[in-house]
A and B are shown apart, each in its own frame.
Chain A
Amino acid sequence: MNDEVRTSKLDELRVVHRPLARHDQAEKIAGTTRYAGDLVLPHMLHARLVRAQVPSGRILRRDVSAARELPGVVDVLLGEDIPNNEIRVDVPGQTIEVQPLRASMQVLATDRVRFHGEPIALVVADSEDVLARACSLVEVEIEELPVVSDPAAALAEGAPLVHETGNLLAEWTIDRGDVDAALAEAAVVVEGEYRTQFVDHAYLEPEAGVGWIDDDGVLTLRVATQVVEHYRDVARILGLPEAKVRVIAPYVGGGFGGKEDMTVEPYIALAVWRTRRPVRMQWTRNESLLARPKRHRMTMRYRTAAAADGSLLAQDVEILADAGAYAYLSALVLLYATVHACGPYRVPNVKIRSRAAYTNNPPASAFRGFGGMQVVLGYESQMDALARRLGMDPGEVRKRNALVRGDRLPVGQELITEVQLPQTIDAVRERAGPKPQPSGPRRVVGRAIASNFQSYGRLVWLNDSAAAWVGFQADGSLTVRCGVPDIGGGQAFSLGQIAAEVLGVELERVTVHFGDSALTPLAGTTTATRQLLMSGNAVYEAATALRANLLAAVAAATGDPVESLTLEPGAVSGPTRRVPIEEVLAICRRGNVPVEALGTFFGPKGRPVTRELAGERIFPDFTFGTHLADVEVDLDTGQVRVLRYIAAHDVGRAINPKSVEGQISGGVVQGLGQALLEELVVRDGVNLTPGLFRYLMPTAADVPDIEAVVLESGEGVGPFGARGIGEPPIGPPIAVIPLAVADAIGVQITALPVTPERVLAAIASRRG
């Protein structure tokens, strides 16, 4: 077995694998957690952005004099006031690998605006009350330019240019085997075109933060973020040394990728730096919907060839992604879509061409699933189409083609861990039993399954790393320091569990300090389902090193061999005697043995890819799963009700089973939102979704219980054999819902969301 692969046996685990209630939840439930927008500082100022009201135009004039004169206004900044007016999206996090993402935008636009909501001026005032009027007094004259709001149109000859460099932002290809020959010889070929929509993260906490200058002149930002390493970006914008900027991430009110790119950070920093006073910025929900990057909408064309027995012979895939007005992480999102495009199946001949285009729509960037989820709609719809054509069972077609350890993905990566995809298919079906009956006349019921795979951990050539510090206090309690932001998934708590497990400490005696770029070892982004893998392994390594120190010191003191010693709560036990932890620590101090350790975990390595992807490892590993849904369709109104939902994933080893179930039910419901309800509507570049009254995310009444089936192969590249589960559950819902509806009405809806209106139109098309 590959030496990266970790495993664990259940009977050896004491703290890990227990469904423990998290201490951070207790604070949140008591209402005492202080989120980014809750902090108030003396003499704090307030800041707000003036944003473009048109999607495309040339800025002719900006006049801030009237705003400056309004009583209460302290400062008004334009792009020219910024030392380096550029947000460059390299690859944020604990890596210095700068990628050619071509992702650059102005902090404040000076001459050109490219989307509705783009920031133009920053107003700072001594009261929130002044800001509405002050912003309206900033005069901005814009000559409107042609708008391009469709990615296909953007790539057509003569389209208005969003950027002078051209509208093609990124392109990836995979070419493996002979697709044309396979298509020609195949028993069946099925074709389909599928569309996904713009989706908003819609976390409950809109972007917010407070900044100040501390006693050592360090610009400090306490903001809702998934990435404390943005301190480097802020430093670059302000022309400061990196060490003079500090970012603290308190508990974050939801991230899902939406707080991966910077939001309020540069603006708070600028306002603080100019005024030398504490500043708070709180985006409204309207601003959040308007200006923070969305999930890419994609158009996916599939041609799938199979033999008569259902074996896949070829996939021919074209993907076009709408990247909106600025690049952000689009090139990487598109890469994920490309690598995941064939699903968890063995395909000998593959041709994939994917492109992302600039438009004057809101920018698109990271969102849970990160391009790997949109394609689930494509490849799973094709699998069902294939099953129908061949008269085969949908589960059998999937099982016949399921990847196994040692297989290579179309991109060339070899799978190094066990794949339990067939087990997830069996698990959801066994649990489901027979298909339910309709609840009344003019109603029909449908059932479908959808499988997926999703990477966990960052792209291997990014040279990802995470560091963590673990140390004993004099009273025998344990402190963990790790720069991980906790965005609600229990990231910090899981680290405490791992440290407690390795060091034989009661969990109640572990304190985790997290999310501070100055005081906790940098651990990288809480993104890409990487924290358990990276920071978990860093804590594991630090704790393991510390454990070795302690045992060696006790062995020297007692004369017991090291192998005979065990760490247990409150003591080290050996054949001679049981040494209480306080005494162990004293022995260490007398013997110059450190009672703390820094662990750094380095992710798997790989070479940077070129546009033509071939033969390379891309990701550390993948998580596999299958979902099953029963739906009922009202034939008169088109309304769809999800009757039953079962989701099975192999998570390798569940560090905290309750957190795993929470990630599954939460991810599924977010996916159901995209499947059935949500769409950020943009027309000709104008955002028509001003508030949550129009952005329709699921309520408790819209979804059924999500029955999570947690399979544990006991194998993965995370600590104790854990696999990441943050992102994987969001993909299957966007396929399983249209497929279940198709089972009910006999026609597949290929564009999301599956609205009642689309359902009625589909029923009508069947009649026609």
Chain B
Amino acid sequence: MFVTPFRYARARSFAEACELLRSEPAPAIPIAGGQSLLPMVNLGLVEPATVVDLGGVREARQIVAEDGYLRIGALARHADLERDELVRTRQPLLADAVRWIGSPRVRARGTVGGSIAHADPVAEIPLAMTVLGASYELRDGAQARTVGASDFHLGPFTTARAPEELVAEIRVPVLGPGWGWGFTEVSPRLGDFAIVAAAALVRVVDGRIVEARAGLSGVAGRPIRIGAVEVRVEGARAEDLEDRVGEPEGLEPIDDEVASAEYRRQLARVLLVRALRRAVERAGGSGR
């Protein structure tokens, strides 16, 4: 409500945006969908001198399939992922994860790149990207570098992105044959940020998991994969999962006003099992 006036600049390309971020009065902050930035501006937590709008970077909303990957423009909106035929068929985990995000209004305007750059520790997209082994292309003017999701997300609202760098594109491996996926979370209400969320990908042969990727958010300052569980569930059938998942390792949950560390641990176990079980079912394992 009580927002101190700031400047607004609209970029037509990532290169121009990077230049504006350098040349405009600081702090110059990029805006895409604005669904994370503007609440903070309205609450007075962030006071930009300039807002650099990436909305004019038209080509950055495209989603294409190429060489076993989906290339998703950073400005693709959550609703695009939800609806896009390529995403739904080639990497349904992503389409599934997006459905848990906020309200229809947030999904209509919020962008994939924005969610990644904002790096809320319990946001759905960074978790999905971490489990999928996605990589992000960061651009600074003509320069570009690629960083894996696990190396990008460093902590709560903390990433490997330099202030003038922009997340330009996300490369997501497509779902291979024999793989199934699962995504689930517990949040106080539908559409709230998760207390804990779990994502899983499994390859199943003859009803048994032969390869698994599984991760959690809400149990550390960033989304994490649970390598030990991934190993333990190899060879498991759906009905074995509860025992095999056991106590997930590497959790560092915190106590806060949303939930206790103990409850987060309990959810971590339960939700990992559920996500894995769903993945096995989808891969044609059993339990359908």
Give the complex CA separation of A701 and B191 in angstroms: 10
Bound form: Cα–Cα A161–B3 in Å: 38
Task: Find the B residue at minimum CB distance from A678.
Answer: B188
Question: Within the complex, what minimum Cβ distance (angstroms) separates B93 from chain A?
Answer: 21
Contact of B190 among A48, A690, A702 (CB under 8 A): A702
Known: A681-B257, A756-B263, A760-B263. A284 touches B189 (CB 8 A): no
Are A128 and B4 also in contact (CB < 8 A) when A677-B189, A681-B257, A701-B189 are? no
A340 to B47, CA, bound (A): 50
Where chain B touches its partner, the secondary structure class is loop
Closest CB-CB distance, A690 to chain B, in whole Å? 7
On chain A, the residues within 8 Å of B271 by CB distance are 637
B40 to chain A, nearest CB (A): 10
Residues 680-709 of chain A: 1 if any B CB is under 8 Å from the residue's CB, otherwise 0?
A: 010100001111011010110110000000
Q: Which residues of A contact B257 (CB under 8 A)?
A: 681, 683, 688-689, 694
A129 and B4 form a contact (CB under 8 A): yes
Q: Does A131 contact B (CB under 8 A)?
A: yes
Looking at the assembled complex, report how far the CB atom of B186 sits from the nearest CB atom of chain A, in whole angstroms. Answer: 5
Contacts A637-B270, A757-B260, A760-B266 given; indicate if A282 touches B186 (C-beta within 8 A). Answer: no
Q: How far is the CA of A701 from the CA of B188 in the complex (A)?
A: 12
The reply on B192 being an interface residue by CB < 8 A is yes
B residues 267-287 near A (Cβ < 8 Å) are: 267, 270-271
Q: Among B1, B4, B258, B270, point to the contact of A133 (Cβ < 8 A).
A: B4
**Chain A, range 176-227, C-beta contacts under 8 Å to B:** none
Would you give the 0/1 interface string for A35-53, flagging 1 where the beta carbon is closer than 8 Å to chain B?
0000000000000100000
> How far apart are the CA atoms of A529 and B174 in the complex, in Å?
61
In the complex, residue of chain A having the shortest beta-carbon distance to the beta carbon of B259: A757
A693 to B2, CA, bound (A): 19
Q: Let me know if A557 is at the binding interface, CB within 8 A.
A: no
Is A132 engaged at the interface, CB distance under 8 Å to the other chain?
Answer: yes
B177 interface residue per 8 A CB criterion: no
Q: Which residue of A282, A637, A639 contacts B1 across the interface (Cβ within 8 Å)?
A: A282
Which A residues lie within 8 Å of B43 (CB)? Answer: 286, 690-691
Specify which of A636, A681, A696 lies most central, judged by the most chain B CB atoms within 10 Å of its CB: A636
Q: Is the CB of B188 within 8 A of A677?
A: yes
B39 contacts chain A at the CB level, 8 A cutoff:
yes
Number of A interface residues in the complex (CB < 8 A): 31
Contacting B at CB under 8 A, from A704-721, are none
Closest to B264 in A: A757
B173-203 interface code vs A (CB 8 A; 1 in, 0 out)? 0000000000000101111110000000000
The verdict on A699 contacting B260 (CB below 8 Å), with A129-B3, A639-B186 known, is: no
The interface centre, meaning the residue of A282, A637, A694, A696 with most chain B CB atoms within 10 A of its CB, is A637
B215: min CB distance to chain A, Å: 18
Residues in A whose Cβ lies below 8 Å from that of B258: 694
Contact call B5/A129, Cβ cutoff below 8 A: yes
Scan residues 21-52 of chain B and give those whose CB is less than 8 A from a CB of chain A.
Answer: 39, 43-44, 47
Residues of B within 8 A of A701 (CB): 189-190
Please give me the residue from chain A that is nearest to B3 by CB atom.
Answer: A132
CB-nearest residue of chain B to A206 = B1
On whether A132 and B2 interact (CB within 8 A), knowing A637-B186, A690-B43, A757-B260, the answer reads yes
The CA of A284 and the CA of B3, in the complex, are separated in Å by 11
Q: How far, in angstroms, from A391 to B63 measured CA to CA in the complex?
A: 65
A235 to B266, CA, bound (A): 58
Interface residues of A in 110-131 (CB under 8 A from B): 128-129, 131
Contact between chains at A284 and B266 (CB < 8 Å): no
Are B266 and A132 touching (Cβ within 8 A)?
no
In the bound complex, CA of A677 to CA of B3 (Å): 31
For A637, the chain B residues whose CB sits under 8 A away are 186, 267, 270-271
**Contact (Cβ within 8 A) A131 B2:** yes
| Contact partners of A131 in chain B: CB under 8 A | 2
Instruction: Find residues 1-18 in chain B having any chain A CB closer than 8 Å to their own CB.
Output: 1-5
* Nearest-Cβ distance from residue A298 to partner chain B, whole angstroms: 21
- Asked whether A696 lies within 8 Å of B4 as measured between CB atoms, the reply is no
Closest to B273 in A: A636
Asked whether, in the complex, the Cβ of B186 is within 8 Å of the Cβ of A699, the reply is no
| Chain B residues with CB below 8 A from A681, complex form | 257
Q: Which residues of A contact B193 (CB under 8 A)?
A: 693
Whole-angstrom distance between the alpha carbons of A84 and B257 in the complex? 40
Report the nearest A residue to B271, measured CB to CB.
A637
B260 neighbours in A (Cβ, 8 Å): 757
In the complex the two chains form, what is the Cα distance from A48 to B1 in whole Å?
A: 11
1/0 per position for A393-433, CB-CB distance to B under 8 A? 00000000000000000000000000000000000000000
The 22 sampled A-B contact pairs (Cβ below 8 Å) are A48-B2, A128-B1, A128-B2, A129-B3, A129-B5, A132-B3, A132-B44, A282-B1, A284-B1, A284-B2, A636-B270, A637-B270, A638-B263, A683-B257, A690-B43, A691-B43, A696-B189, A696-B192, A698-B189, A699-B191, A701-B189, A701-B190
Q: 5 new A-B pairs (CB below 8 Å) besides A132-B4, A637-B186, A637-B271?
A: A284-B1, A637-B270, A699-B191, A757-B260, A760-B263
B contact residues vs A (CB 8 Å cutoff) = 1-5, 39, 43-44, 47, 186, 188-193, 257-260, 263, 266-267, 270-271
10 A-B pairs with the lowest CB-CB distances in the bound complex, closest first:
A757-B263, A132-B2, A681-B257, A636-B270, A701-B190, A132-B4, A131-B2, A688-B257, A284-B1, A696-B188
